Structure 1
Amino acid sequence: MPARLAGGIRCGDDDSVSTYRFDKLLAPRAIALVGSVAREGSVARSVLDGLRAAGFPGAILAVQPDHAIVDGLPCVPQIADLPTIPDLVLIAVPPPRVPEVVAQAAAAGAGAAVILTARLGSGPDDPGPTAHRIARAHGLRLLGPDSAGLAVPGAKLNASLFAHAPAAGDIALVSQSGTVAAAIVEWGARHGTGFSAVLSLGSVLDIGVADGLDYFATDYRTRAILLCLDRVADARRFMSAARAAARAKPVVVLRAGRHRPDTRAAETHTGALARPDAVYAAAFRRAGLLAVQDLDEMFSAVETLGRQRPFPGDRLAILSNGRGIGLLAADRLIERAGTMAEAAEAEGRPAGNPLDLGIDAAGPAFAAALEPILTDRVSDAVLAIHVPTVRSDAGEVANAIADTVKRVRAGQTRKKPLFAVSLGDAEAAREAFARASLPHFATDSEAIEGFLHLVRYREAQDDLMRTPDSLPRDFSPDTARARSIIAGALRHGASWLDPIAVNGLLEAYGIPTVPITLAPDKDAAAAAAWPIIAAGGAVALKVVSPDIVHKSDIGGVHLDLTSEADVREAARSILSRARRERPDARVTGFAVQPMVRRGQRRELIAGLAEDPVFGPVVVFGRGGTAVEVIDDRALGLPPLDLILARDLIGRTRVARRLEGYRDVPAADLSAIALTLVKLSQLAADLPQVRELDINPLLADETGVLALDARVRIGRSERGGHGRGHPRFAIRPYPAEWVRTLNLKDRTIRVRPVRPEDEGLFLSFFQGLDPEDLRLRFFGPVRAFSHTFLARLTQLDYARAIAFVATEVDVGGGERMLGAVRLHADANHESGEYAIAVGRDVRGTGLAFALMRLMIDWARSEGIGRVEGSVLAENRPMLAVCRRLGFTQGRDPEDPGLMKVQLPLAGGSPAGR
């Protein structure tokens, strides 16, 4: 069938999400307030005062049994007595009454409720969980308990306990902590920063961080999102929502409690290195979030995001009226790994970076120096710092800077960002910068942080869109062997693999190891060592015990043994010390290995740890016995590709030692990165592996070698939504969906799309004629940018799938024949599809087969229905949809489009 079979998704088909009943929460027409509105100073009265002061245009209804009217507001005994069904119910009653009020709200048909009451408990019969069960049964959404409320300034809605109503703006704030939210709102009030909405989540029963991210990611009133949290309950939902939001707009995250004591009992080096704060940081990085460390840095981010959009480039030019203050700013930038712009040519004006205008520089001097910097090509942004003096007025300088920026930008298509600092407390300067919508700061350090926030955000976006290298074709792990090894150990009740099993597991994933022989006693160890010694080598002898994880702690490793007598003596010494220091430990024998001379090899550590929130984590860093003391490590959430693996390596100090220096050749970075990808794949394939520790992993110019390793295992439990590893925070590549189709004497391979398929898609689209492309994308497509293609090939498998059909070309590579994709909404209620196939597969049935496969995937994910938009003239696509059971109808907003829909709940496989 020709590419005319294309059905498409309009307006960004990879970002369509919905959040159930958020319209009732954030845009209510009527609000009911349940609580002591008559008592001055009560929570309910405070919220009522806030609603009235904000000028809420809808109905405000009060429920208070013992009053008929309060301050001109009629009251009723219960929600059922209200004259209007409220969209939103605000609950401020004692804890025991909360379930009763929630039940009344649900029965009345309310859409959402905010529980301002605190301390509802977490036991199954406590008020909180009871209220949640009642609300869930009726589809009532709950915010809280212990919420400080919500505000939507643009809708004149302030149902919060904040001291001041937030001003209207385009930044959304989602905070688990009410006090942190209140602090940010107060800061915004003092600095003229507004919000599209503020949500105080409290002790989450229902609406959480992921829901807020999903909603504000697609809210056209929101340009950036601020996120304040101390914990994540559902890592997979959080990561999916965070990655989707970060692709759409800047998301800044502040986490409280980063340095709480770690109560885990890690049993390997990798487990000890994967501390919770480091895992959270790795998760935020992987999701593309901008992580800040404290409220000062958050305020800096708010100031920046409120007035400046992200921009390309990272070179900063610094302009000041003092050499010292300019150098301090430059020092701060360099310390934070920022980039100074090169000094521009003088051209009759002062030169340098930082550029010093002198202590008495006034407005005209700043204007004259600033204009050429704003138009040059050697810098990407400007930092203008002014220190008030008796000869240089802050307000005058601020106005000169603002006027110059406005004048220069009027003639520019690419408007260079400017960050302003006016030291001191000059109200006139702040007002001038605010009127010009220029980000302004009290100190140079805050301004540098603000500049770097946007640079880091753009870099994170680039990382999210970067196409990874293809994996080597010879990397095909022997998963059957690996699973057999794990299953055998579990059958015998083992929680640690023995050294032979560890070597077998690593070999199954192509990770080079040192040969090993197990010996039950000292004589067997001497016999196993003899062939190596006789050949002129030396051996290492290691204790084997399921109870001794760190062998060196009890002297359980002896090296450079060159005779049988040495081996026997080493075995006696190991046994003696083990019995003395670990009398409870079961010693099952000894491991004998040929000695490996380290030479110029670098000692690294690589492995897997398990975090209670985010699941498996890949750990990399400098290895050796002092690995935890050195603490040079970086963490990454699997699945990894080669780009992510290289980034992981680059975030460690040991990365510099991997480069060549003096007479030491550079280590093989590709081999190290590939090893990390292999460990990531091992984690995806084998949920039973709980911790894996390769220490040391030796690396030089010839590759890598696992010198010592240990693996902890346990039975896996199913969990999470959909298929895949039950504890992966990010859904791994769904390899189980690879298919081979035999259609009209052609063998066609269909598999889920991978990020490295960008080239395949480019070649395919370039081979389609303009009419084919119009049917797929509902309009002409003139260029296929990297960003455009990355959005089609870099998928969040928790929300979307794309299947690509290929066949082997004459050169032995893949040739793309077509693809189908489906993107689910945040609640998995529906998914929207798109499909395109090439002209040379017409009549083969490929389009029908791809649609069938996509529908099967949707059903397996629990998606309620599949829908799409098809041009009315696209009869072949509509015919396929009829054959598959889709209903069809005209799009009321566009008569040229047909809306097609296939309900899946409880249905049988499509087309059967």
Structure 2
Amino acid sequence: MSTKYLKRFFQPRSIAVFGASERKGSMGGIVLQNLLDSGFPGGLFAINPEEYQSVFGVRCYRALTDLPEMPDLAIICAPPESVADIVRQLGSHRVKAAMVLTGGLSISGNPRVSNLGEDVKEAAKPYGLRILGPECMGLLVPGSKMNASYSHVNIQKGKVAYIGQSGLLGTAMIDWANGQEIGFSHFMTLGHGVDVDLPAVIDYVSKDPYTHAILLQLDRISGSARRFLSALRAASRNKLVLVLKSDIIFEEANKPSLAPGIPDEDRIYDAALRRAGAVRVETSDELFHALETLTRMKPLRGERLAIVCNGMGPNALATDRLLKRGGLLAPLSEDTVTKLNALLPYEWNGKNPLDINTDATPERFAAVIAILVKDASVDSVLCIHAPTRLAPSLETAQEVVKVARKSMRNILTCWMGRATAIAARNHCNSVNVATFITPEEAIDAFMHMVDYHRNQVTMRQTPPTYVEQNSQNHQKAVGLLENAKAQNRDFLTHSEVCALLELYDIPVQNSYYADDINGVIALARELGGSVAVKALHVENVYPFNYDENSRQRWHDLAQDIYSISEVRHATTKLAYRMSERFSESELFGFCVQQMKRGFQSLQINVGITRDPTYGPLIVFGAGGYAVDVLADRHVMLPPMNMSLALELVKSSRVYRIINERSYQPERDVEQLCELIIKLSEMVVDLPELKCLEINPLLLNKLGILAVDASVSLGEPSRLSISPYPGNLEEPITLKRSGRPAVVRPIRAEDEPEHLLFYNQLSPESIRMRYFYSRGIPTHQELATWTQIDYDREMAFIVSAPRLDGKGPETLGVVRAVTDADNIRSEFSVVIRDDLQGEGLGRILMSKVIKYCKERGTLLLEGSTLPANKGMQGLAAKLGFTNVFNAEDEVVEMRMMLNEPTEEWQITRLHQ
């Protein structure tokens, strides 16, 4: 997440171009020409070992040492073999930012250049020099009048930042956007990203006030998935983020391995992007159309769309696409229908979508849309136009635009055709009204906005309270895994798996074990009734270990065996089949269970898997022995709460079956959600747990029951999303009342109590905290305060049991928000008015000071009003330096926690 020196890329005061010449095809020359043509206001230098006096009027120097001053940014377009040496020279002369446009530094199989990319990275490391690239197309920032790229055209100024990994797709996007009169706030491709990576750039542009949305084009996720998702989540809370992710990897050796049990990585990427609040687009066409909506559309008021056309054919295409994408047709109010009846032919059907007939004039189009945008049940309108003599495209567009410019609602337009429709589309582009060629394109673009809206709602859902159970057994679970690893096993035995599930309060079918056929018969006699016998061997102890047709695994099982003779025959058959496939050391005996398939049981597959990029994942879907379990397998990134667990359950067909057939659907869904939370707890508690599969998990009127399960072990994993840091919880006693309480990090589940806490603050306390009087916070604000990314910020609350015994209550909170480079952290603290004098302020401030210091933060700072003498006095006692800021009329409190060790840290501290 480090953004150090990135300002020198986006807002440099001077630029030096290595390899610039007037030779035809010179990349350096193209870059220098683009800088000149864009009107770059800073200093420009050309560097070329050939004895040029100037390049396109810019003075040329033979070497870096000849420059009159060192540049903020160096752009390297030199031959591949010389790049690492140039980087060393730049570093030794204290240049801190370099962009490498040179290609061929990462070509596998070419011994001459295959390691040059790594050489560049190593050359920059000793000097702290930031590298963008290699093999990037460059950087365009209209706000800085800078086109530092090899693009054939410049870009217009806009409010969308484009960050890509493909240079050619980037130049195609620029060309298309210029044709649509669409601009950008920033435009760049990262190339191979040996240093400046995607998370750092996302962090930088997401803080730019002129950037309203971000478009990402990705070929791969390199580096830390946790950093990437953290940056993406932070950006998507304030800006719409769309992602085009391609899956083509040309070199077989570089293809990532799939997570066990997941048939394709697309499901994982979709789950990761949804969890981060981003919207995925599938094709480059969708990306282009998404740019259209991002640039031209107003904030979405809701999801209900009204469709207007002068014919039913295009209406049908649009409606079909909308419903298939899960969109909503807006219902028309009685008042709207009445007004439309006076305007439209008598044969119109009175419903949405609206067919306003082929004889519709431009005035009729505009009048109908003007009525629709005043209907409270209509959130957006799509106007589809097929040209006729009565309604020429351009004239209709002019009338529709008049309505669109006055309305607060979004009006999308689709001008079908080409020869006569081009002028209408150009007119819409010129006045910033979203326009498309086909109804399907318009619907897809609208649904991108809807998907973003839904993602934001999901991200900010308040989860129901879930009480963690049997925390004292977690250490026993750790012991189970340690015991297996001590025996050099990367799996748990069947009995160990059952014990592990029971430690997390997951109901497990009673299992009994035998070493041979006679032992199985003895167990069957003792159990009575119908039994199942499973052969245990080296393959089925591993989760998700299916063969190509997913059938061989179930041949190791005999079910519904009643008589002893049937038991003997079935077990003998199993033993013979196993002896043909496995050696004696690979066989682990038999497991015997009573049959439990009655009570109209639904069979479910649930568990944990691990992806090479995103780490642990929770898996959920239909299960059993007679279905293709891969067909209904859905994933979500842990850690999870009850809201996220419910979303995962709803994504599977299991949810529909429960709603159709269950006697108690709410109870069943709640039990499944609680089970998923327990699996999420396992992921956090047991980092060496690689995979876990429960299949089948039975669900019937008696509840849930795990019938069969397996666990594999591996190296410790790291979650892609920071889990709740339970290790920071600390019991305390209030100073005056002696009341027991706990200081702990805030959780999403705390939102209801946080609202009650806020409502108990006096107007004066609110003014002291926020510097102004304010009303009750919205759900969105509360979600932002409670659903935090622990990698980026921290909020500690004091929580104590209510005096009336009705659950916990929040007594005080301290918050620290740290910048991406861990230089500064800004704190704020507020205590409930009736608890002044209990020592909570000192407790919370001491907690946040210790936390930030151990985290390596350099400076902790905050500000308060001059009238807040209590806060100033507490800060002084804790070691803060208080200084009055006359310009802002606040008292600034500052404490150095750690000393800077690098020059750039010192510079940042003084900015």
TM-score higher than 0.5 here? yes
1:840 Cα offset (Å)? 3.5
> Distance in 2 between the 1:750 and 1:665 partners?
37
List per-residue Cα deviations over 1:653-675 (Å, max 9, x = no partner).
33211212498977711111111
* Kept in 2: contact 1:310–1:455 (CA 8 A): no
Query: CA 1:358 to 1:122, structure 2 compared with 1: closer, same or farther past 3 Å?
Result: closer
* Kept in 1: contact 2:262–2:630 (CA 8 A): no
Equivalent residue for 1:240?
230
1:326 Cα offset (Å)? 1.0
List per-residue Cα deviations over 1:769-791 (Å, max 9, x = no partner).
11111111121121221111111
Matches of residues 19-418 of structure 1 in structure 2 within 5 Å? 19-66=3-50, 67-121=52-106, 126-233=115-222, 234-257=224-247, 271-273=260-262, 275-345=264-334, 346-347=337-338, 348-350=342-344, 351-407=350-406, 409=407, 415-418=408-411
List per-residue Cα deviations over 1:160-194 (Å, max 9, x = no partner).
12221111101000111111211211110110110
Are 1:815 and 2:809 counterparts? yes
Query: CA 1:893 to 1:237, structure 2 compared with 1: closer, same or farther past 3 Å?
Result: farther
Match of residue 839, structure 1, among 833, 840, 859: 833
Equivalent residue for 1:632?
632
Query: CA 1:367 to 1:36, structure 2 compared with 1: closer, same or farther past 3 Å?
Result: closer
> In structure 2, what residue type is equivalent to 1:690?
K
1:816 Cα offset (Å)? 1.4
Matches of residues 737-886 of structure 1 in structure 2 within 5 Å? 737-744=728-735, 745-809=738-802, 810-886=804-880
Match of residue 887, structure 1, among 877, 881, 884: 881
> Distance in 1 between the 2:248 and 2:854 partners?
38
Match of residue 492, structure 2, among 497, 510, 515: 497
Query: CA 1:399 to 1:632, structure 2 compared with 1: closer, same or farther past 3 Å?
Result: same
* Kept in 1: contact 2:497–2:709 (CA 8 A): yes
Query: CA 1:259 to 1:626, structure 2 compared with 1: closer, same or farther past 3 Å?
Result: farther
> Distance in 2 between the 1:198 and 1:839 partners?
50
Match of residue 527, structure 1, among 514, 519, 522: 522
Equivalent residue for 1:649?
649
1:241 Cα offset (Å)? 0.3
Query: CA 1:682 to 1:256, structure 2 compared with 1: closer, same or farther past 3 Å?
Result: same
Match of residue 534, structure 2, among 524, 535, 542: 542
> Distance in 1 between the 2:858 and 2:67 partners?
35
List per-residue Cα deviations over 1:328-347 (Å, max 9, x = no partner).
11111111111111234322
Q: Any idea what SS the aligned residue of 1:668 has?
A: helix
* Kept in 2: contact 1:600–1:664 (CA 8 A): no
1:122 Cα offset (Å)? 8.8
List per-residue Cα deviations over 1:403-427 (Å, max 9, x = no partner).
12234x3xxxxx1111100012333
* Kept in 2: contact 1:284–1:290 (CA 8 A): yes
> In structure 2, what residue type is equivalent to 1:91?
I
Equivalent residue for 2:904?
none
* Kept in 2: contact 1:667–1:699 (CA 8 A): no
> Distance in 1 between the 2:115 and 2:353 partners?
62
Structure ranking higher on relative contact order (CA contacts 8 Å, 6+ apart) = 1
List per-residue Cα deviations over 1:226-280 (Å, max 9, x = no partner).
01112112111001100000001100000111698896777xxx82226322111
> Distance in 2 between the 1:315 and 1:477 partners?
50
List per-residue Cα deviations over 1:7-37 (Å, max 9, x = no partner).
xxxxxxxxxx982122211111111000142
List per-residue Cα deviations over 1:369-428 (Å, max 9, x = no partner).
111101012211100000112332100000010012234x3xxxxx11111000123332
> Distance in 1 between the 2:595 and 2:900 partners?
62
> Distance in 2 between the 1:143 and 1:544 partners?
54
Compare 275-284 and 69-78 and name the one that shifted more.
69-78
Unaligned residue ranges in structure 1 (runs of 5+):
1-16, 410-414, 717-725, 908-912
List per-residue Cα deviations over 1:414-460 (Å, max 9, x = no partner).
x1111100012333212321233211101111100111111111111
Query: CA 1:144 to 1:513, structure 2 compared with 1: closer, same or farther past 3 Å?
Result: same
Indicate the percent of aligned positions where both proteins have the same amino acid. 35
> In structure 2, what residue type is equivalent to 1:70?
V
* Kept in 2: contact 1:95–1:120 (CA 8 A): yes
* Kept in 2: contact 1:274–1:617 (CA 8 A): no
* Kept in 1: contact 2:305–2:328 (CA 8 A): yes
1:125 Cα offset (Å)? 9.8
> Distance in 1 between the 2:389 and 2:244 partners?
40
> Distance in 2 between the 1:356 and 1:265 partners?
51
1:829 Cα offset (Å)? 2.4
Unaligned residue ranges in structure 2 (runs of 5+):
345-349, 902-911
> Distance in 2 between the 1:163 and 1:733 partners?
49
* Kept in 1: contact 2:38–2:147 (CA 8 A): yes
* Kept in 2: contact 1:271–1:608 (CA 8 A): no
* Kept in 1: contact 2:663–2:701 (CA 8 A): no
Query: CA 1:734 to 1:662, structure 2 compared with 1: closer, same or farther past 3 Å?
Result: closer
> In structure 2, what residue type is equivalent to 1:138?
Y
Query: CA 1:20 to 1:473, structure 2 compared with 1: closer, same or farther past 3 Å?
Result: closer
> In structure 2, what residue type is equivalent to 1:464?
M
> Distance in 2 between the 1:304 and 1:811 partners?
52
Query: CA 1:340 to 1:576, structure 2 compared with 1: closer, same or farther past 3 Å?
Result: same
Q: Any idea what SS the aligned residue of 1:894 has?
A: coil
* Kept in 1: contact 2:360–2:391 (CA 8 A): yes
Matches of residues 384-533 of structure 1 in structure 2 within 5 Å? 384-407=383-406, 409=407, 415-425=408-418, 426-472=421-467, 474=469, 476=471, 478-533=473-528
> Distance in 1 between the 2:648 and 2:665 partners?
21
Are 1:674 and 2:674 counterparts? yes
List per-residue Cα deviations over 1:567-622 (Å, max 9, x = no partner).
33333222210121334861121111111124422111111110011000011111
> Distance in 2 between the 1:636 and 1:283 partners?
7
List per-residue Cα deviations over 1:496-523 (Å, max 9, x = no partner).
1111110111111111110112222222
Equivalent residue for 1:730?
721
Aligned residues: 870
Equivalent residue for 2:909?
none
Compare 384-393 and 882-891 and name the one that shifted more.
882-891
Compare 455-464 and 897-906 and name the one that shifted more.
897-906
* Kept in 1: contact 2:181–2:430 (CA 8 A): no
> Distance in 1 between the 2:707 and 2:526 partners?
20
* Kept in 2: contact 1:122–1:129 (CA 8 A): no
* Kept in 2: contact 1:817–1:841 (CA 8 A): yes
1:753 Cα offset (Å)? 0.7
